[in-house]
Amino acid sequence: MLNPNFPHIIWSFTYRGWRLEVDQSEDDGQIVYSVWANHNMGCAVAVPLALSQSEAINRAKQYVDGRLRDPHSSSM
């Protein structure tokens, strides 16, 4: 792999028992964000792509809220 894309976590916080990690990267000159959601059973990419940090955080919180409403969701 010539240019591996290593995570660049710029901010992390706990939300409703989940550790959310905001990643910042660049795609064709555009700064983009993604969010990893970590909990006691594993981790998932809660937000694969967002154009702003606030959008990424809001969508990650929605992801967690959805998982907590339906803990048997197949999208975990």
34-41 average pLDDT score? 94
CA–CA distance, 25 with 47 (Å, rounded to integer): 13
What's residue 3's pLDDT? 66
Question: Into how many domains does the chain fold?
Answer: 1
Domain around 56: 9-69
Give the CA-trace dihedral at 66, 67, 73, 76, to 10 degrees. Answer: 120
Per the domain annotation, does 63 fall within a domain?
Answer: yes
Mean pLDDT of the chain: 90
Locate 72 and state its tokens: 């048997």
pLDDT at site 6: 75
Question: Is 75 inside a domain boundary?
Answer: no
Q: What pLDDT is stored for residue 48 in this prediction?
A: 96
For residues 70 and 10, the model is more confident at 10
User: Residue 7: exposed, middle, or buried by beta-carbon count in 10 A (0-12, 13-18, 19+)?
Assistant: exposed
**Is 3 a domain residue?**
no
Q: Global pTM?
A: 0.83
Q: Is the pLDDT of residue 76 over 70?
A: no
Residue 76 lies in a domain: no
